[in-house]
Structures are given as structure tokens and as C-alpha cells.
Amino acid sequence: MSDQVCQQTAEHSGLLKFLSAMFYAGSSFVITIVNKTVLTSFRFPSYMCLGIGQMVTTLIVLYAAKKSNTVQFQDFDRSILFKIFPLPLLYVGNHITGLASTKKLSLPMFTVLRKFTILMTMILEVYILRKTFPKRLVYSVVAIVLGAMVAASSDLAFDAEGYIFILLNDAFTAASSVYTKEKLGTEGLGKYGVLFYNALIIVIPTLLASAFTGDLHKAVTFKDWVEATFICCFFMSCIMGFVLMYSIVLCSHYNSALTTTVVGAIKNVAVAFIGIFVGGDYLFSWTNFLGLSICMSGGVLYSYLTFNNKTSGQNTEETQELKIPVAEDSTGKYSVN
């Protein structure tokens, strides 16, 4: 399965890879700003209910599209659960921890700490998809993570709970990206099936969890439901939640899981730079600014190496130089030699 996924990725044109990556970056940028507005500016009390709204929107849009024959994916049966597992669990963990960390952290620190997703994704691609990486790509990833560490070292608004949420979000995102890439090759699912059944399987448990924790009551009794501006932002967040999920799957279809993760990281650095001037919750320091600049440099280098067709042949040769040996023992587990 992993060899087939890698071969399909190589066959896609550079233009499709680039456009899908830009679509993901733009969608992610917009939803970060909208979610920050809903959860911080309006002080909406339930990030879990905001996530439920995004899931419901995804179900409505895709169900209507399937009924009108705009899109095609497999009808539900028992095999769906086996085909899509563990994506629903990873998705709900990614969704909830992402919204929670958005609420707890300033935009710049949120975007900085998200960089550790890249390293986690690279490790998981080695073990799950059996991929290898050129030296220059590894160096660019190291630069991104190093910049994140430099920027985070000067965080003047440290929030332990926020840091825990963001690191959990990194782990969920990395696992979700790699498994999404793997599941896209599963017969009967495809891009739209992955999106639809992910949301369908987890929306009811998430709704029950929000009711049990009291989040649903807080959301229903929120005072700003009578404000047209808040309602507009809330529904925009729901719509952008679907657009973001679709853009992630599309980018993963045309690119590697690592490239999808790095694209998100580059977008996050851009958000961080904007957050310096708008938002009002960023505490400036030169160390933090230097770290952000290092992150951006590493991201630009990665993008150049990935999307520049002229370097593709050289990258293929260098891949052999940095192959990470992974041996399979008698128990079926993988180990690094």
C-alpha cells in the first residue's frame, strides 16, 4: 500500500502539487483568523461546539453533493469502519486540541509550536509509509524546528495548559496526515469518502461529550447569539472548517504527508508575522522574531526543493544517501538500525 501511495504521488504534475498546497495554505490561514476571532475576540466558551458545527457543515455539504451526483463515494456499510480506522479518532483529537490551543495561546506562539508537527510527520512517514528523504529536505526541516525552539524560548506569556494542548495537537496532526495519505488509496473511499465518514463517525460522540462536560449548555446560552457579527463569524468558521478539511485531503492526495505539514507550517509563520502587528496578544522580543525568521527561511527552502522540477532528479539521487534503515523483526515491529 505504501509503495503504491508513493508512486501515485510521483505521477502528479508539479502544477497540481503547487496549487493544492496553496489552496490548503490559504484555507488554513483564513480559518485560523476566524477561529481566533470567535474564541478570543467574542470569547465563545466552547471550542468543542465550534468543532461540531464544522463537522455538521461537512456532512450537509457532502451528503447534498452525493445526492446530486456531484461527487461519488461508497455507501455506508460495516466495512467502512475497518477501512477508515484510526482516522476518526485522530481527527477528533486533532480538532479539539487544535481549537483548545488556539484559545489558550497567542497567534504567534500557536504557530511557532505547531512546527514540531513536521518532525513528528517525518518520523511517522519513515515507519508507516517506509519513505526516505533527501539531505537538503532534512536540513530545511531542522531549520524550521530550530527556529520554533528559538522563538518559543522567549515566550513572555507562557501557558502550561496551552503548551500541552498544542503538543498533543502536533502529535494528532502528524498521525492524521500520514494515515490520511495511506487511506486515500483505499478502494471505495477516496477524498470525499474519507471526509464524510470521518465526520459522520465522530460527530455524535463529540456532541455527547460536549453535553456531558457542560460545553453544550455554555454554547447554547452564550449571550452573543443575538449579535449579527458573531453569527456571521461562527457560520464562516463552520464553512471554512469544511473547506480546510477538503484542502488537507486534496493536498495529501497530490503531495506527501510531510509536504502537507510543511505547507501548514509556512502558513503559520505568515500568520505569526501578521500577529505581531494585529491581534493585540503578541509580546514582541528580538529572540522570538529571530526564531520566526529562521522558521520562514527553512519553509521557503523546503518549498523550493519540493516544487522546483529542476531539482527533482538531484533529490532522487540524494535520497539514497540519507536512507534511514528500518528493519522488521519477527514480531512485526519496526526498528531503526
Tens of pLDDT along 238-258? 999 999 989 988 888 888 888
Question: Is-cis flag, bond preceding 86, omega within 30?
Answer: yes
Which run of H or E residues covers position 242?
A: helix 228-254
For 201-216, write each residue's pLDDT tens digit: 888 888 888 888 888 8
Mean pLDDT of 123-148: 84
**Weakest-pLDDT range from 112-121, 156-165, 278-287, 324-333:** 324-333
Mean pLDDT of 15-21: 85
Q: At residue 48, does pLDDT exceed 80?
A: yes
Q: Which residue, 246, 266, 95, is CA-closest to 168? A: 95
DSSP E strands: which ranges in the chain? 326-328, 334-336
Q: How confident is the model at residue 279 (pLDDT cuts 50, 70, 90)?
A: low
Q: At residue 337, does pLDDT exceed 70?
A: no
How many angstroms separate the CA atoms of 298 and 80, rounded? 39
DSSP-assigned beta bridge partners for residue 328: 334
**What does the block give as the cell for 42?**
467574542
CA atoms 174, 142, 303, 13: torsion sign: negative
Side-chain-side CA neighbours of residue 246 (13 Å): 17
Using an 8 Å Cβ cutoff, are 25 and 264 in contact? Answer: yes
Mean pLDDT of 27-32: 85
Question: Regarding predicted confidence, which is higher, 184 or 120?
Answer: 120
For 153-193, write each residue's pLDDT tens digit: 766 566 778 888 888 988 898 888 888 888 877 766 778 88
Using an 8 Å Cβ cutoff, are 150 and 291 in contact? Answer: yes
Which residue carries 496551552 as its cell? 162
The pLDDT value recorded for residue 315 is 43
The pLDDT value recorded for residue 274 is 67
Average pLDDT of the residues of the chain: 77
34-39: long-range contacts, CB 8 A cutoff, minimum separation 24 = 34/233, 34/236, 34/237, 34/240, 35/99, 35/102, 35/237, 36/102, 36/107, 36/279, 37/233, 38/230, 38/233, 38/234, 38/237, 39/99, 39/102, 39/103
Q: At residue 333, does pLDDT exceed 50?
A: no
Q: Which residue, 3, 252, 253, is CA-closest to 131? A: 3
Q: Hey, which of 30-34, 77-81, 235-239 has the most confident mean pLDDT?
A: 235-239
Mean pLDDT of 263-273: 69
The pLDDT value recorded for residue 271 is 66
The pLDDT value recorded for residue 290 is 84
